[in-house]
Amino acid sequence: MPMNKLNKGFISSIRGSVVQAVFNDEIPLINNKLTTGDHNEIILEVSSYVDVKTIRAIALTYTGGISRGDAIIDTGAPINVPVGTKTLGKMFDVFGNVLSGDDDMGDVVRKSIHQKPLPFSKRSTSDEMFETGIKAIDVLTPLARGEKAGLFGGAGVGKTVLITELINNTAQKTKGYSIFCGIGERSREAEELYREVQEANVLKNAVLIFAQMNEPPGARFRVGHSALTMAEHFRDEEKKDVLLLIDNIFRFIQAGSEVSGLMGKMPSRVGYQPTLASELSELQERIASTSSGAITSIQAVYVPADDFTDPSATHTFSHLSASVVLSRKRASEGLFPAIDPLNSSSKMLNKSVIGERHYHIAREIKRTLAVYEELKDIIAMLGIEELSEEDRNIVNRARRLERFLTQPFFSTEDITGIEGRLVNLDDALEGCERILNDEFKDYEETDLYLIGNIDEAIKKRKERENINET
């Protein structure tokens, strides 16, 4: 809309983040961006119509300082965010404003945050694995390219480190881009992640976008759409594979619940918004793959009160193709990444998808670890000597598998002093298969701890033997 023909209205009521406005000339479209305030600094989005001249809008910034009768301007378009390679290495808010200091982006393409999902005719229908270079994920919970995976874990078990490593490996392995979307993040977490990604030297291939915990629910509700618009541009225009990391998808649902309550909608089961399923689907269905590029998403999932029957959890699970569970117990034992192989799952772990060899190796690893888990109580009470020879062999195998599934990360080189490893799936499978065949029965467990491929265990043993000889 030309600047000399601004569509102006006036505010008729304000209730917290909900603003009602009257437009006598032309009523704005749903999802249009509105501005008000002394310097048009307050941004709103049209949410619903009250009558032929009145709209109800949800504020994406604080509404302090405005009053009834104030002018409100329809910008004639939805919220637009910058897209393309110029966004790489920067941190943004929901409106596409740069938060990381260097805000000079020059001439940049901007797109609406509201885009339709890919039609089925353009989607890739092949089950293709998304290799991460992380042994524990690729072997036991393989991720699907262009699909969604859930990352479950509490504070301090290594979610951020795993996310940083995934950003690094995506840049190294596929030359693809990563987008981190923080929904309702604490400002401390956002600042720490930015610094860690920067120190790991992977920021140049990543985009970070945040709506902080203290921001209005409207901003937290729309930041996921902003991130997806950026990701879709990389997939469709740059023909790149994009890794989209979302933390936390529950906070998106929570923000939607707040918006719904503010708009006066009748709450549904357990107090959630009646539109929970459609709102989540609107976001999730935009994550898809084409023949030339894909958006693969890993989403941190918070389960309220560990109740997996909670509507937010059940609706999220229906969209996920894999669940990666991080265990505090494994983290305390120093087994990093602290992925719980028995509680993690993936729909890709199917003979017809990953092949006979991979399937049988993964199944045998899980069986071995499950038996070891059952035997732990007996070992604790009576000692390993009381087990049968077969059970002792299983324990021996399981302990070596646990250590082989650990891996030094590029993002933790400064802390561990060990150079990071990116392990190919074939190398990871070969190592697991040889341990299952008892080739490393006589090796020390430490030989298999924090290594890349299995050849490093042989090298470590030789070095240890040479030191002992001298």
- List active site positions: 159, 185-186
* 247, HSE (Cβ side, Cα atoms, 13 Å): 24
Instruction: List the beta strands (DSSP E) in 213-283.
Output: 242-247
Which one, of 128, 119, 116, lies nearest residue 321 by Cα? Answer: 128
Total Cβ atoms within 10 A of residue 450: 19
Amino acid at 271: G
Local structure of 359: helix, strand or coil:
helix
Q: Could you tell me the two tokens for 305?
A: 């009160």
Radius of gyration of the chain (CA): 26
CB 253 within 8 A of CB 54: no
Which one, of 278, 270, 273, lies nearest residue 217 by Cα? Answer: 273
Q: Cα 271 to chain center, whole Å?
A: 26
Which one, of 437, 422, 451, 454, lies nearest residue 138 by Cα? Answer: 422
CB 95 within 8 A of CB 223: no
* 365, HSE (Cβ side, Cα atoms, 13 Å): 31
- Alpha-carbon distance of 395 to 399, in angstroms, equals 6
Q: Secondary structure of 168-218 in the HEC alphabet?
A: HHHHHHCCCEEEEEEEEECHHHHHHHHHHHHHCCCHHHEEEEEEECCCCHH
CB 436 within 8 A of CB 397: yes
- Alpha-carbon distance of 174 to 241, in angstroms, equals 7
Cis amide leading into 337 (omega within 30): yes
